Structure 1
């Protein structure tokens, strides 16, 4: 999970948001209003709802094209549940919220890394498991 991710407000221009996403190397930008998560702007939102529609990025605010009511997870939520939500809603990133406040973003890569670490731990556990055979 990326803790304390960059976020923006609804009134930010699309051009500014795109520059921010480029400079931060992020594919989604959580949008907050008074500290509460209200939407998420994704690279797909920009392509489908702005570029493909021919909107002026300097005159368009991100609140006009962002995805409202995003699917979220809570910090203590199980990673398997998060992965199911990602699959069900066809998203690669989930905002992590606590009491409606944005505290992080969980990406597919985070889930994959955790699974890889867990799997590696299981393999090490199996390798280190006593077999009753002693070497001489």
Structure 2
């Protein structure tokens, strides 16, 4: 089983995108669309102060009849950010995501942010691991070696 750090290292892009709490929700949405991502870390003075997801936007702007150009990120961001350490297993990450209904998890090493995992990253890794196990079992059963 892999760790959060190993999954991060295998990602094609390890860029971490963030926005400041005083930015407009509109600018956050523009950045998410431009980068093809579903969440942004909200950073202030180099520290995580929140996370803004598409879900936050849908529930706290659209449904509340606000406008994204007049609403600030700090007004709708999730402030209770759940994160994992780099040495935590993919199973632990999936369990946290499932329990808390999350799609994104920051990965920390001590006080330092080392990356962001999405549910897609974890699913991709689990499928890859399962494929490998299936291939190994097929080789064992048929007696062939690659």
Same fold (TM over 0.5): yes
Contact 1:83 1:108 in 2 (8 A): yes
* Aligned residue among 88, 105, 113 for 1:77: 88
In structure 2, the CA distance between the partners of 1:12 and 1:126, relative to structure 1 (3 Å rule), is same
How many residues are paired up? 133
Aligned to 2:103: 92
Looking at secondary structure, tell me which structure has more helix per residue.
Answer: 2
Per-residue deviation, 1:132: 7.3
Q: Distance in 2 between matches of 1:27 and 1:21?
A: 6
SS in 2 for 1:119: helix
Scaled by the length of structure 2, the TM-score of the pair is 0.82
* Aligned residue among 53, 60, 69 for 2:64: 53
Aligned to 2:52: 41
Q: Distance in 2 between matches of 1:132 and 1:47?
A: 54
Contact 1:37 1:100 in 2 (8 A): no
What 5-or-longer segments of structure 1 have no aligned partner?
Answer: none
**1:64 and 2:79 aligned:** no
Per-residue deviation, 1:71: 0.9
Higher Rg of the two aligned structures: 1
Q: Distance in 2 between matches of 1:41 and 1:106?
A: 14
Scaled by the length of structure 1, the TM-score of the pair is 0.87
Per-residue deviation, 1:4: 3.1
| CA-based RMSD | 2.0
**1:103 and 2:114 aligned:** yes
**1:116 and 2:127 aligned:** yes
Runs of 4+ in structure 1 deviating by more than 6 angstroms, as ranges, are 130-133
Q: Distance in 2 between matches of 1:132 and 1:42?
A: 49
1:15-57: per-residue Cα shift (whole Å, max 9, x none)? 1111111111111111111222121001111111112212232
What 5-or-longer segments of structure 2 have no aligned partner?
Answer: 1-7
